[in-house]
Structure 1
Amino acid sequence: MSNKTIVVHLIYRLDIGGLERVMLNCINQMEDENFKHIIISLTDANHFSQSENNPIDIYCLGKKQGSDLGIHFKLYKLLKKIKPAILHTYNLATIEYHPIAWLAGVKGHLHAEHGRDIGDPQGLNKKHNLLRKLMAIFIHRYVSVSEDLHQWSINTVGIPAKKALLIQNGINTERFNAPKTVSEQLRFAIVARISPVKDHLNLLKAFVLLNKEIGNEKMPQLAIVGDGEQREKLEQYCDENGLDTVKFLGARDDIAQILSQTDVFVLSSIAEGIPMTILEAMSAKTPIVATRVGGIPEVVEEAKEGFLVDKSDSAALAQGLLHYINQPELILEHGENARAKVLKNFNEKHMVQAYLQQYKALVKG
C-alpha cells in the first residue's frame, strides 16, 4: 500500500448525493490501479458506502459555518502527514484550499465542478467567479461534468481553455438494469436531497394541479426519496392539500430497487450539472420528466427519453407528467430509448478512465 500514489479527495460534506456517488464510484472502480484514495470532509461524514475490498480512509475537519480560517491550518497539517501527490476538490466550497495544499507540498491539482452553488444557480456571482478564476492559477485541470458547465467555466468564469476539461458523469449500467413493467396506478419518483435547489415544492404544486384536472382516483403515486431541511414543510404541504398518494421514503441505499419499481422519474431542480439520479433512472429504463436546466438537455431529448419543462413552472411540470398519465404506452418506449442513450454516452467505465488518465498525467508532471 505504501508504494501507491495518494490522491486526496476534498469535499465539503460526505453525505448521500450524486456528487458523492460519482466520487465513491470512481474510487471503488480504481481499486486495482496504483493509487490510494483518501477522503477529507471539511465538515463531517453523515453517510457513505464503499467497497469492502477497498476501504477508504476518511478524515473530518469539523469546519464551522461561515468563515473558519483555522480550517486551513488543520488541512495543512493533515496534508503534511498524508503526503498526497494529488488534491482533487469538488465544487465551490473546496476550491479555495489549493494554495494551502501547494504549501503542504501537494504537486498535482484537479478541481471538478458538478453543479453551481445553490445561491447562484446561473453562476453569475462575480465574487464567486473571481475566486474560481484566481484559484485556477493553482489548478492543473479544471473539470466540468456537463457541456453547459464546461462552456460556462470558459466563457463566464474565464478558466483558460487549456486547463478546462469535460468529463461527463457516468454510471454502472449493469447495477441499474432490472426488468420493467408499467403499473396500473402509475408510480412516479424523485430521488434528491430535499433542499431549495431541487424545488420539491414546485413538484408538489404540480401534483395539486394534476389532482384538480384528473381527480383523486386517477392520481399517480409519488415517492420522494431523500432527506433534508425542507422535509417537514413539504409533508405539511401534502397534508394541507390532500396529497395522499405522496410518500416520503427518506434517505435510502436501495435506489436500484426503487427505480425498478418506478414508472416515471421526475426532477424539478432549478439548477443541475448532469444528475446521477437521472442517469440511473434512464439506465433502469425509466423515462424522465425534468426541468430544462444545466446539463439535463444534454441527456434527455424531448419526446424521446422524456419531456423537459421550464423551471419553477408547476403548470408546465403538471403537463409534462400528464403526457405519461394520458399515454402510458410511451413509458416502455421512452424507457428503452433512455437506457440505450446511457449505454452509449454515459457509461461509468468511460468516466473512470478519463479521471484515471488525468491522475496519471498529473503524477508524471
Structure 2
Amino acid sequence: MKAVLFANTDWYLYNFRRSLALSLQRQGYDVLLISPVGPYGDKLRSLGLRWEPLPMARRSLNPLRETALLWHLVRLLRCERPVLVHGFTIKCAVYGSLAARLAGVHARVNAVAGMGYVFTSPQVKARLLRPVVRGLLHLALGGRNARLILQNADDVALFRQAGLVDPAHIRLIRGSGVNCAQFAARARTKASGDGRMRVLLASRLLWDKGLDEFVAALRQLRLQGCAVHALLAGTPDPGNPAAVPEAAIRGWVEEKLVTWLGHVDDMAGLLGSVDVVVLPSHREGLPRTLVEAAACGLPLITTDVPGCREVVTDGVDGLLVPKGDSGALAHAIRRLLEDPELAHRLGEAARLKARSQFDERIVIQRTLEVYAELCDPSAVPAESSL
C-alpha cells in the first residue's frame, strides 16, 4: 500500500515524522513525503525516503495560486494512486483532504497540532479568515473514510463543540513522539562555567510562544539580583505572521538578557547542558520541546494552556504559570533556582511521564492503528469525488 505524508515544511517532516515514515516502510508501505521545497528534502532522501517538493507558499492567500496548488495535488495523487493521505497542520489537512477526495483516494488522515494562527491570533486578518477556514475544515475533514488526530484533550473538546467532524472519527494521540532513550542517554552532561542556573527556551521564535513574557521575566529576575543564564534556541519563522523580528532578538542579546544559539540540530546535547526548560506558549498541540526536556529529566516551566498542560501537571512534574504573566514566570524560575531539591524531583517525575506516555514507539503504534481502521486491504473502494 502507498501512503502520502503531507506537511507545510520539509523541516517538519524530517524532525517530527521521519520515524513514522521509516516505520511505515518497515511495515511494507510505499511512502511518499511531500512539502514545499527546503533544505531537509535531501536529508529525507538520504534516509532512503522518497520526498517531492510542492509549489506551495504557506502564507499565500492568492486565489489563483491556491487553486493551482490544489489541482497540482489532485494530479499528483491521481498519478501516485495512494491508499491513504496523511496531512499535518490545518492548511495541509484542508488541501490534502480536498485533493484526496477529488482524486478518489480511499483514506484521509489529518493530524492537527493546535489550532494555528487563524484560530489563535487576535489580528483582524485572522478573524476574517476564521469562518472561511471553518467551512473548509468541515468539508475536508468529513466522511466515513476520514480520521482526525488531535494532540490534546482541549482540542478534542473544541472540535467536537464546533461540529467540524464526527466525534466518532476523532482520535487522541499525544504528540508526534520522541525517542526518549536517545534523550535520556545524553542527559546531564551539563557544565556552566559561571555557576549560574541555565534556563533554556527552545522553539520557533514566534510571539505566541511567549517570547515577550520570557524576556520580561528575565528583566525582573535581573532587578531582583537573581543570576541566571538564559539561552534562546531557534530561528524566526518568516512563513508565520507571528514571527519575532530578528532585530528584536539581537536587541535582547545586546541587552545581555539572552544568549541566542540560533538553530540547534543536536537538541539532546543542548538539553543535557541546561538546568531548566521553559515554554510560556499561548497554545500548543503538544510541545515536543517539553517532551524532549522531560526525557532528559529536566524540570519544566510552562503555561496553563491547551497542549502544555498535557505534558506538565503543576507541582508534580513541572510548574504551570498563567498565560501572559511574566511575573509568575519569573517567580517560577526563581523558585527552582532557590530549591534544587524541588527541581530534581520535578525532573525525575517528568522523565517517567515522558517514557510512559510520549515515547515515539507509542505514538507510531497508535498512528498505525488509525491507518488500519481505514485501510483494510479486503475493502478499499475509491471514495466518490466531490
Is TM (by shorter chain) over 0.5? Answer: yes
Aligned length: 353
What is residue 108 of structure 2 aligned with on the other side?
A: 109
Query: How far 1:331 moved relative to its partner?
Result: 2.1
Separation in 1 of the partners of 2:120 and 2:174? Answer: 19
Q: Match for 1:171 among 163, 167, 178?
A: 178
Tell me the amino acid that sits aligned with residue 204 of structure 2. Answer: R
Q: Is 2:168 the counterpart of 1:154?
A: no
Q: Given residue 181 of structure 2, which amino acid in structure 1 is its aligned partner?
A: E
Instruction: Report the secondary structure of 2:324's partner residue.
Output: coil
Q: Which residue of 2 aligns with 1:74?
A: 72
Query: CA offset at residue 96 of structure 1?
Result: 2.4
What secondary structure is seen at the aligned counterpart in 2 of 1:271?
coil
Whole-angstrom distance in 2 between the partners of 1:31 and 1:270: 36
The residue number in structure 1 matching 2:8 is 12
Are 2:205 and 1:205 equivalent residues in the alignment?
Answer: no
| Separation in 1, partners of 2:353, 2:282 | 24
* 1:187–1:223 contact (8 Å) kept in structure 2: yes
For the residue of structure 2 that corresponds to 1:80, the secondary structure is: helix
CA contact (8 A) 1:30 1:352 kept: no
Q: CA deviation at 1:137?
A: 2.1
Secondary structure in 1 matching 2:178: coil
Shift of 1:245: 5.0
Instruction: Confirm or deny: 8 A CA contact 1:7 1:36 kept in the other structure.
Output: yes
What secondary structure, in the 3-state scheme, does the structure 1 residue paired with 2:142 have? helix
Specify the alignment match of 1:186 in structure 2.
197
- Which residue does 1:278 correspond to in 2? 290
Task: Provide the aligned C-alpha RMSD in A.
Answer: 2.3
Instruction: Please state how far the C-alpha of 1:362 moved relative to its aligned partner.
Output: 1.9
Q: CA separation in 2, counterparts of 1:344 and 1:9?
A: 26
Structure 2 counterpart of 1:238, one-letter code:
W
Question: Residues 204, 20 of structure 1: CA spacing in aligned structure 2 closer, same or farther, 3 A cutoff?
Answer: farther
The answer to whether structure 1 residue 234 and structure 2 residue 248 are counterparts is yes
Relative to structure 1, the CA distance from residue 286 to residue 182 in structure 2 (aligned partners, 3 Å threshold; closer, same or farther) is: farther
CA contact (8 A) 1:61 1:75 kept: no
Q: Counting helix residues as a fraction of each chain, which structure ranks higher?
A: 2
Aligned pair partner of 1:143 in 140, 143, 149: 149
- Give the partner amino acid of 2:152: S
1:96-142 Cα distance to aligned partner (Å, 9 max, x none): 22232222231111111111112422899444333222222245111
SS at the partner of 1:174? helix
Structure 2 distance, partners of 1:202, 1:165, is 33
Asked whether the equivalents of residues 142 and 166 of structure 2 are also in contact (C-alpha less than 8 Å), the reply is no
What is the percent sequence identity of the aligned residues? 24
**Unaligned stretches of 5+ in structure 2?**
237-242, 380-386
The residue identity in structure 1 corresponding to 2:246 is E
Find the residue that maps to 1:293 and give its secondary structure. Answer: coil
How many Å separate the matches in 2 of 1:310 and 1:20?
32
TM-score by length of 2: 0.85
Cα offsets for 1:251-300 (capped at 9, x unmatched): 12100100011110010211101111110000011111111111211221
Q: Which residue of 2 aligns with 1:351?
A: 363
1:208-235 superposed Cα distances (whole Å, 9 cap, x missing partner): 1111112xxx421111111014252332
Distance 1:88 1:303, change over 3 A: same
**Matching residue within 244, 264, 267 for 2:279:** 267
Answer yes or no: is 1:220 the counterpart of 2:219.
no
Q: What is the SS of the residue equivalent to 2:116?
A: coil
Could you tell me how far 1:239 is from its partner in structure 2?
A: 4.9
Structure 1 moving runs of 4+ over 6 Å: none
Mean Cα deviation higher: 315-324 or 29-38 = 29-38
CA distance in 2, matches of 1:206, 1:157: 39
Could you list the runs of 5+ residues in structure 1 that have no partner in the other structure? Answer: none
Shift in CA distance, 157/24, structure 1 to aligned 2, threshold 3 Å: farther
- For 2:329, the equivalent position in structure 1 comes to 317
Partner SS state of residue 324, structure 1: helix
| 2:54 paired residue number | 60
Does structure 2 conserve the Cα–Cα contact (< 8 Å) formed by 1:76 and 1:100? Answer: yes
Cα offsets for 1:150-172 (capped at 9, x unmatched): 12111234421111111112311
Name the TM-score, length of structure 1 as normaliser.
0.89
Pair 1:89–1:323, CA change in 2 (3 A): same
Residues 291-318 of structure 1 show CA distances to partners (whole Å, capped at 9, x for unaligned) of 1111211221111211111111111111
8 Å Cα contact 2:200/2:231 also seen in 1: yes
Structure 1 residues 75-108: Cα deviation after superposition (integer angstroms, max 9, x where no partner):
1121122221111111211232223222223111
One-letter code aligned to 2:182: R
Q: Which residue of 2 aligns with 1:34?
A: 28
Q: CA deviation at 1:51?
A: 8.3
What is the aligned partner in structure 2 of residue 84 from structure 1? 82
Aligned residue for 2:181, secondary structure, equals coil
